[in-house]
Structure 1
Amino acid sequence: MPHIALDENLPGISALFAYRPETAAPLKQLAEVLLRGPSSLSVGERELISAVVSRGNDCTFCSRSHAAIAAEALEGGMPVVEAAWADVDGAPVSAKVKALLHVALAVREGGKSVGEDLIAVARAEGATDVEIHDTVLIAAAFCMFNRYVDGLATIAPDDQEAYQGMGARLLQEGYTRL
């Protein structure tokens, strides 16, 4: 049960965006730029970063919704996301993406957990400074989004299938159309 009066027909951050449209606009724009804007990382790779960070933060709504988008965007679909959730190093993604996921998970623990060793590995695997920057910002933003969604106890279906339509729609339409 949400801690504040939210539209019970809207899950997760959707209910919060409806509740405070004036704060929703910049948050949606941030998500749009980070996850959909121009980047050498694919939409699927960036969505995978958000899904893995959200899973690490135990945020059901964010991990499942971004997993659905990543699954739509990545070759291999949901099994790739599930593999990354279980073991980044065993996931069927590039070595660069694995290194960036490790950076993102360190950000999830705390900003100072991102050490030179993680950055050196990411660079050795071909990550650019912009990709490292964006990975850190995606991870930091999703820590905020996760705490926003769970801090107000929004409704979050636990069944991954409930998020499939949302994932396809968000991949098609982006975040500013929410």
Structure 2
Amino acid sequence: MRLNILNNGYKFGTKVLFSIIKAVSGYPLPDAARLVFYRPDFYGTPAKKFTQKAMRGPSSWSVADRELMAAFVSNINACTFCVKAHSATSTIAYGNRAKVNQVLANLETAPVEAPLRATLAMLGKLTREHTVNADDIRTVMAAGVTPQQVEDALAVCFAFNVTNRLADAFGFFVPSADAFEAGAKYLIKRGYS
């Protein structure tokens, strides 16, 4: 059920900003962005900072890899909005739509390197079962993933398990493919801050 707060729960200045964004981009501000403007002190500002660090902070995972992780976690959670948003962003970052689609369709046969495959499998287990153990971490590290990469991937997983639940709880509107592509270009250029 879509909560009406995403439509009108903002101060006048914020509503003007939303109108300017729509006029310039040709698309309404996505609900994920609208949510961070609602009660920014409680959720918006901390969520933006954490997500920016997880998705664009220093990491040996590429932006494309982290966006793929976000899409993969979102796919497991069946969060349509986030799957489409982060598939589009990962596709632009990789320059390879087929790769992204193949990972989401079947990780085992997808054309990804062993470290990323093992990491995605771990994130999948964590998302489905809400737990990982030392053996899971050892398996990922045996595939060539560093402890810092594990930590970075877990941050992405956390960010999108939270965002997926909020997207579904608030009933985020799922726009057109063109709107997702425009949003993906923005995320590639500007990040999450």
TM-score, normalised to structure 2, is: 0.83
**Is 1:175 matched with 2:187?**
no
Q: Distance in 2 between matches of 1:64 and 1:20?
A: 25
Correspondence for 2:149 among 131, 151, 173: 131
Pairwise mapping of residues 77-156 of structure 1 onto structure 2 (< 5 A)? 77-112=96-131, 114-156=132-174
**Do 1:15 and 1:154's aligned partners in 2 also have CA atoms closer than 8 Å?**
no
Which is worse superposed, 146-155 or 134-143?
A: 134-143
In the TM superposition, what whole-angstrom CA distance separates every residue of 1:23-64 from its partner, at most 9, and x where no partner exists?
211111111100101001111101100100001111111111
**Do 2:6 and 2:31's aligned partners in 1 also have CA atoms closer than 8 Å?**
no
**Do 2:85 and 2:180's aligned partners in 1 also have CA atoms closer than 8 Å?**
yes
Pairwise CA RMSD:
1.7
Correspondence for 1:165 among 157, 182, 185: 182
**Do 2:76 and 2:128's aligned partners in 1 also have CA atoms closer than 8 Å?**
no
Q: Could you tell me which residue of structure 1 aligns to residue 5 of structure 2?
A: 5
Q: Distance in 2 between matches of 1:33 and 1:71?
A: 20
Q: Which runs of 5+ in 1 are unaligned?
A: none
Task: Return the offset for 1:6.
Answer: 1.6
Q: Which runs of 5+ in 2 are unaligned?
A: 9-27
Change (3 A) 1:95 1:160: farther
Task: Return the offset for 1:166.
Answer: 0.6
Larger radius of gyration: 2
User: Percent of pairs identical after alignment?
Assistant: 32
Task: Return the offset for 1:12.
Answer: 2.8
Q: Distance in 2 between matches of 1:36 and 1:137?
A: 11
**Is 1:20 matched with 2:19?**
no
Secondary structure of the residue that 1:164 maps to in structure 2?
Answer: helix
Task: Return the offset for 1:105.
Answer: 0.6
**Is 1:68 matched with 2:79?**
no
